[in-house]
């Protein structure tokens, strides 16, 4: 059973480019919220700051962390390794801080299956349409159209995982999407009523799959 003063774990996953990193960054500005900074073997993007956006490490260092069982979860995504180290997460939760995770469905599954003694809320973020997603991916990875195309190819497979999350939220207007997530977190933490329409979500997923 979660202890009342402990922090809450909040996972945001999505098909690449739907906006979860942007949303996690906005949510982290709330009082008492911290981002879990992941380790990755991917190379930094132009605007990324080492040790803030990710701990960028070599594959042999990643393997050492696996061997030492330092990861709470880890996965291979788009040919690179990504993982969350356990100690900083547990320390923050024990201090009562809410921890935000920007991780894929494999990592979300691993954390769910661990059944830790902390409250867990999981969100899956979707784009309003495939066209908008492609635009977002292309503007983010401007130098490399191939990256956007590769990630679009993965979209249909990533989409299938929506069903395993507590909430699916559509990131059309950024402010509305942020407010929706914030309200759902508040409602979960304070056992309030939730404004959530699963039928609407299901129809949106059907539209994105067609």
Interface with ligand 5GP (CB under 6 A): 16, 38, 42, 73, 75, 77, 82-84, 102-104, 106-107
To 5 degrees, how large is the angle CA 207–CA 168–CA 47? 95
Buried b (16+ CB within 10 A) or exposed e, 110-135: bbbeeebebbbbbbbbbbbebeebbe
| Rounded distance between C-alpha atoms, residue 85 and residue 172, angstroms | 32
**Dist. CA 123–CA 140, nearest whole Å:** 22
Query: 180 contacts which partner out of ligand 5GP, ligand ADP, none, CB within 5 to 8 A by kind?
Result: none
- Work out which of 6, 7, 11, 17 binds ligand ADP, going by CB under 6 A: 17
Cα–Cα distance between 52 and 63 in angstroms, integer? 21
Pick what 7 binds: ligand ADP, ligand 5GP, none; C-beta below 5 to 8 Å, kind-dependent. Answer: none
- Is 142 one of the binding residues for ligand ADP (CB under 6 A)? no
Q: Which residue lies nearer to ligand ADP by CB, 119 or 136?
A: 136
CB of 128 to ligand ADP, least distance (A): 8
Check residue 140 for interaction with ligand ADP (CB under 6 A). Answer: yes
Closest to ligand ADP by CB, 48 or 61:
48
């Amino acid at each position: 059973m979660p202890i009342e003063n402990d922090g809450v774990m909040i996972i945001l996953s999505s098909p690449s480019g739907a906006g979860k990193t942007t949303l996690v960054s906005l949510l982290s500005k709330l009082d008492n919220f911290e981002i879990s900074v992941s380790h990755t073997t991917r190379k930094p993007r132009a605007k990324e700051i080492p040790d803030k956006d990710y701990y960028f490490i070599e594959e042999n260092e990643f393997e050492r962390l696996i061997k030492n069982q330092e990861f709470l979860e880890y996965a291979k995504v788009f040919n690179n390794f990504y993982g969350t180290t356990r100690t900083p997460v547990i320390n923050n939760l024990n201090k009562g801080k809410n921890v935000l995770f920007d991780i894929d469905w494999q990592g979300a599954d691993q954390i769910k299956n661990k059944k830790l003694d902390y409250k867990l809320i999981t969100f899956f973020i979707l784009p309003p349409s495939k066209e908008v997603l492609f635009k977002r991916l292309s503007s983010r990875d401007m130098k490399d159209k191939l990256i956007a195309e590769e990630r679009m190819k993965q979209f249909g497979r990533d989409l299938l995982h929506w069903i395993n999350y507590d909430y699916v939220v559509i990131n059309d207007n950024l402010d509305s999407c942020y407010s929706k997530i914030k309200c759902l977190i508040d409602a979960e933490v304070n056992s309030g009523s939730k404004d959530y329409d699963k039928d609407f979500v299901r129809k949106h997923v059907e539209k994105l799959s067609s």
